[in-house]
Amino acid sequence: MAPFIVFEGIDGSGKSTTIHEISQRLSARGIAVESLREPTEKTDASREIRRILRTVREVTPQISKELLDLFFIDRLWDINNQIIPSLRAGKVVLLDRYFFSTAAYQADSDARAHEIVATYLADDRIILPELIIFLNLPVDEALRRVGTRRELDVFETETRLNAIAARYNSIFSALPQHKKTVAVDERRGVLTAQDFEELSARIAALVVAQKK
């Protein structure tokens, strides 16, 4: 199977741009790539997720629980119908958000976030990525980017994104396989062509290693 790469970070952190840049560089090296995202937009669960994120004003514990279940359903579908088939076909999968998002967004404390990660890690239906690329952009800068692009969803306020960013940092520093996580620190505000080149080279090396 080809390597499975996950991108995480708050809204506006540059996941989709980074995926696009890496995808082009891998293709130029002759490596087959499939770019995917969660929520998938392809299941009833994902459509219900979108509806909720656009319409609620407050994420109550009840809504968080509902989102937790819906993301799980959508994710299992994604794994079985898109991720695993692509990896089996020899394509590197670049996934925009995985269960670390669920832990960062659906938890109301760090302890709860760690519990959600532990539940996913213990479930043998959930496949684990070879590499997690965590885009760690300051919240004010991320919000500035998102605000000019489109309407904001319920999580996209400064207070909520600050809590989510803190949770991501807590999750990735505690992750047992943390060596697999590259934290791209975007304090400079932008990723450069050299950053994309380095990340692509790292993924290309994983492709070579897995072929052996």
Q: Are 182 and 132 in contact (CB under 8 A)?
A: yes
* Residue whose Cβ sits closest to ligand TYD: 105
Q: Identify the CA nearest to 126 among candidates 66, 89, 79.
A: 79
Closer to ligand TYD by Cβ: residue 46 or 86: 46
In this structure, are strands 131-136 and 33-37 parallel, antiparallel, or unpaired?
Answer: unpaired
Going from the C-alpha of 191 to that of each of 14, 15, 131, 153, 186, the distances in angstroms are 9, 11, 18, 25, 7
Closer to ligand TYD by Cβ: residue 20 or 37: 37
**Binding residue count for ligand TYD, defined by CB under 6 A:** 15
Q: Are 54 and 152 in contact (CB under 8 A)?
A: no
Contacts of ligand TYD in 43-72 (CB under 6 A): 53, 67, 71
Closer to ligand TYD by Cβ: residue 31 or 135: 135
Contacts of ligand TYD in 95-154 (CB under 6 A): 96-97, 101-102, 105-106, 153
Q: Is 77 in the site for ligand TYD (CB under 6 A)?
A: no
**What phi and psi, each to the nearest 5 degrees, are found at residue 81?**
-105, -20
Q: Least distance from C-beta 97 to ligand TYD, angstroms?
A: 4
Interface residues with ligand TYD (CB under 6 A) are 11, 37-39, 53, 67, 71, 96-97, 101-102, 105-106, 153, 155
